[in-house]
Homo-oligomer: A and B are copies of this chain.
Amino acid sequence: MKEDIYFLGIDGGGSHCRARLESADGRLLGRGFGGPANPCYGLDLAMRSIEKAAAAALADAGLPPGLMDRLRVGAGVAGLHLPRYRDAMCNASHPFEQLVLTDDLHIACLGAHGGGDGAVIIVGTGFSALSVVDGVAHTIGAHGFMMGEACSGAHIGFAAVNAALLAYDRLGQETLLAELLGRELGGEGLMLANALAGATADRYAALAPVVFEAAERGDAVAGRILREAAAFIDRVAQRLLERDPPRLSLVGGIAERIVPWLAPDIAARLLPAEAPAEVGAIHLAREGIAPAPTSIPETGISS
């Protein structure tokens, strides 16, 4: 029966994942949340986070949990452009009728531009960017924790911790960041390092608001970190615009606060995303197979 088919879109980020449940005729039925879905924290945790978000969306819709095996799921998951994680996740068992997997960048672009051509820059816990023009995709970044980027929330938080430690050791300029991070994490110098030993990307990204606060209060070191992050985003935008995408959007947890730091000509080119990434994931769920962006080898696998 037609009414027994449900479509679920999952935006699986490094910090948490978000689910959107729709009926066959496109009505929003419910929403749900789960934990981190990036398989770099472990495949089991990622799959559990997705299942938890799906269960929460069913509950939100007032539907029984037993409908899990009737869900046609599209999921965009952080880190899934890397073969090591994609292979593991595509082979993992799941309770759904169908699970179409791609990376989070791909669904953000589908969502931002209504499934059409366009470019998107994600600055959340991590950084990545994608343009899709006339069916040709071009990816920038998405290399993982602080690799090949200088603008993600994790990078900004890490740079702030670094600056505070250098100031503590009298190897770098004094900064308000030392005091603010010390208050946030319960100690400076040794105790700051102690609090953050083994910290993951989302832990550093959670410190990014402290950098904005320090910069707004006139701290030169925090200002430099944000100016460098913004200049990096400017360069990324220029690379994407070389391919003439009809639309360009900046999305993710720190997007809104970094805009005033961008070059005015870049900021003027930004258009709001039409819909969030989980709506892009619904596109995938409905199509049943992920149209692979060509510059991401073998991305978008139906299982």
Chain A interfacial positions (CB closer than 8 Å to B): 40, 79, 81-85, 140-144, 146-148, 161-162, 164-166, 168-171, 189-194, 196-198, 232, 235-236, 239, 296-297
Residue ID in chain B nearest A79 by CB atoms: B197
- Tell me, rounded to whole Å, the shortest Cβ–Cβ distance linking A203 to chain B: 13
Using known A-B contacts A82-B190, A161-B147, determine if residue A169 contacts B141 with beta carbons closer than 8 Å. Answer: yes
- Tell me, rounded to whole Å, the shortest Cβ–Cβ distance linking A175 to chain B: 12
CB-CB under 8 A from A166, the residues of chain B are 148
- Tell me, rounded to whole Å, the shortest Cβ–Cβ distance linking A260 to chain B: 22
A81 and B190 within 8 A (CB): yes
Using known A-B contacts A198-B40, A239-B171, determine if residue A193 contacts B147 with beta carbons closer than 8 Å. Answer: yes
List 8 A–B pairs whose Cβ atoms lie within 8 Å, in order of A's numbering.
A83-B191, A140-B169, A142-B190, A143-B189, A147-B165, A148-B165, A148-B166, A190-B297
B40 and A197 within 8 A (CB): yes
Using known A-B contacts A143-B193, A197-B40, determine if residue A171 contacts B235 with beta carbons closer than 8 Å. Answer: yes
- What are the 7 A-B residue pairs with the smallest beta carbon separation, nearest first? A148-B165, A143-B193, A82-B194, A140-B169, A143-B165, A144-B193, A144-B197
Residue ID in chain B nearest A296 by CB atoms: B190
Using known A-B contacts A148-B162, A166-B148, determine if residue A140 contacts B171 with beta carbons closer than 8 Å. Answer: yes
Chain B CB within 10 A, most for which of A81, A194, A235: A194
Expressed in whole angstroms, the Cα–Cα distance for A197 and B85 within the complex equals 9
Expressed in whole angstroms, the Cα–Cα distance for A17 and B263 within the complex equals 50
Expressed in whole angstroms, the Cα–Cα distance for A162 and B151 within the complex equals 13
Using known A-B contacts A82-B190, A190-B81, A190-B82, determine if residue A144 contacts B196 with beta carbons closer than 8 Å. Answer: yes
Chain B CB within 10 A, most for which of A81, A140, A148: A148
- Tell me, rounded to whole Å, the shortest Cβ–Cβ distance linking A123 to chain B: 14
B194 and A84 within 8 A (CB): yes
A148 and B82 within 8 A (CB): no
Expressed in whole angstroms, the Cα–Cα distance for A79 and B235 within the complex equals 38
CB-CB under 8 A from A297, the residues of chain B are 190
CB-CB under 8 A from A191, the residues of chain B are 83
A82 and B40 within 8 A (CB): no
Expressed in whole angstroms, the Cα–Cα distance for A190 and B148 within the complex equals 11
Expressed in whole angstroms, the Cα–Cα distance for A180 and B192 within the complex equals 36
Expressed in whole angstroms, the Cα–Cα distance for A165 and B236 within the complex equals 13
Residue ID in chain B nearest A236 by CB atoms: B171
